[in-house]
């Protein structure tokens, strides 16, 4: 599993957003509070059922609140043949270091 800092993801999104896919594994209420544009929501508890919308040819950057659930999701995704990247610090760190206009919860 790779780990990216929010700054790594920000750079990727500004240079080649089509080269990755964003997977948010938080709960729907969390996603409604704050999420990254073009991220796909599949709660961790439903991940095995929501894989049909993911492309195995593209790396998957996995997002949660602080990076714990996304790390668990990355392990599962890798076992299933995906290239998974954990967003270190999750959406919380993204909001603090990249986009302070986003709400923190």
User: Rounded to an integer, what distance in angstroms lies between the CA atom of residue 72 and that of residue 104?
Assistant: 22
pLDDT at residue 55, as a whole number: 96
Catalytic residue among 22, 64, 74, 91: 64
Whole-angstrom Cα distance, residue 65 to residue 58?
23
Overall fold of domain 2-97: Oxidized Rhodanese; domain 1 (3.40.250)
pLDDT category at 88 given cuts 50, 70, 90 is: very high
Q: Is 64 designated active site?
A: yes
Average pLDDT value for the chain? 97
Q: Domain boundaries in the chain?
A: 2-97
Assign 50 a pLDDT band (cuts: 50, 70, 90).
Answer: confident
pTM: 0.96
pLDDT for res 2: 97
Residue 65 has pLDDT above 90, yes or no: yes
């Amino acid at each position: 599993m790779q780990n990216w800092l929010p700054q790594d993801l920000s750079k990727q999104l500004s240079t080649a957003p089509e080269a990755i896919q964003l997977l948010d594994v938080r709960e729907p209420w969390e996603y409604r509070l704050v999420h990254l544009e073009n991220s796909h929501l599949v709660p961790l508890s439903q991940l095995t059922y929501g894989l049909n919308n993911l492309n195995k040819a593209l790396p998957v950057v996995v997002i949660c609140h602080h990076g714990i659930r996304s790390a668990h999701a990355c392990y599962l995704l890798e076992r299933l043949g995906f290239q998974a990247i954990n967003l270190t610090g999750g959406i919380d760190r993204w909001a603090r270091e990249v986009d302070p206009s986003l709400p923190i919860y």
